[in-house]
Structure 1
Amino acid sequence: MIRYAMKCGEGHRFESWFQSAEAFDGLADRGLLSCAICGGGDVTKAMMAPRVTGEGAPDGAEPAGSEQRPLSAPPHPAEAALRALREHVEKTSTDVGGNFAREARAMYLGDKPEKPIYGQAKPDEARALIEDGVPILPLPGVPGDKSN
């Protein structure tokens, strides 16, 4: 495993783990990286200093300015807010999975009673819903909190 400091085109900085340098390059080449804060796809490696700990640091101390936090902790308050929003939607709505476009359109046309739903739609399905005036919006994050 390798950890990289990352940055997006909006200037957000975050860290992410990858199986290897080659795995990172493969994901980057296929455009499969996204910002952990805003979801933007313009993501690159940021400059980072090597981390020296244990025997390499005086008295086993961490380097000056090193921030210690569990990997499970969100690196930015915006990420925590987006996660809370997603959790709220998942608790108060029905997951319709891959039927999202069909269900949303049926409710918009009055063929089904309206209720809060979430699910997945292919990009062309989402575009068609938006073009037809169906009120939808993307839900931040990925189901199951999968990451790069």
Structure 2
Amino acid sequence: MILFTLRCAEQHEFEAWFRDNATYESQAAAGDIACPVCGDHGVRKAPMAPRVARGHAEPTPAAPEAAALRQALREIRRAVEAHCDYVGGRFAEEARRIHYGECDARPIYGEATRAEAQDLREEGVAVVTLPWVGDGN
């Protein structure tokens, strides 16, 4: 196991354990790593001295807090999936339609680029970016 310090495009830094560098590379290329602060998937390694775990190392002091945060984010995801309509890549379009009264108001979720989300906010559309943590994260 290896611990990397990672940084998103918004400069949030966080740590994550990986089986090896190849595992990190494949997850990063697939967009499976998200910033726990802003949800950005454009995560890269930050300058660091990687820590390699040999055997059963003691968890880092932040590990319980990080695990609790991941669990809370998983619960948020489950609630969103249970109570909101998934609109996929049409999120910005559908959010605007709801905001301007062109369709019935309802909670939705989906994907939007950072620029689309910023445009929505500037128009006064209430949107929130959530880190989408899966069961394996």
TM-score calculated relative to the size of structure 2: 0.67
Q: After the TM superposition, which residues 24-103 of structure 1 pair with which residues of structure 2 at under 5 Å, given as runs?
A: 24=25, 27=28, 34=33, 37-38=36-37, 39=39, 41=43, 43-44=45-46, 46-52=49-55, 62=56, 65-67=57-59, 76-103=67-94
Q: Measured at CA, do residues 114 and 80 of structure 1 come closer, stay the same or move farther in structure 2, by a change above 3 Å? A: same
| Secondary structure in 2 matching 1:133 | coil
1:14 and 2:12 aligned: no
Consecutive unaligned residues in structure 2, runs of 5 or more: 60-64
Identity %: 28
State the one-letter code of the partner of 2:2.
Answer: Y
Q: RCO higher in 1 or 2 (8 Å CA, sep ≥ 6)?
A: 2
Q: Give the structure 1 partner of residue 3 of structure 2.
A: 5
Conserved in 2, the CA contact under 8 Å of 1:12 and 1:35? no
Q: How many residues align?
A: 122
CA positional deviation for 1:126:
1.7
Conserved in 2, the CA contact under 8 Å of 1:95 and 1:117? yes
Q: Measured at CA, do residues 146 and 95 of structure 1 come closer, stay the same or move farther in structure 2, by a change above 3 Å? A: farther
Q: Give the structure 1 partner of residue 125 of structure 2.
A: 134
CA distance in 2, matches of 1:12, 1:107: 35
CA distance in 1, matches of 2:15, 2:32: 13
**Alpha-carbon RMSD:** 3.4
Conserved in 2, the CA contact under 8 Å of 1:93 and 1:118? yes
State the one-letter code of the partner of 1:116.
Answer: P
1:108 and 2:99 aligned: yes
CA distance in 2, matches of 1:131, 1:36: 23
CA positional deviation for 1:113:
1.1
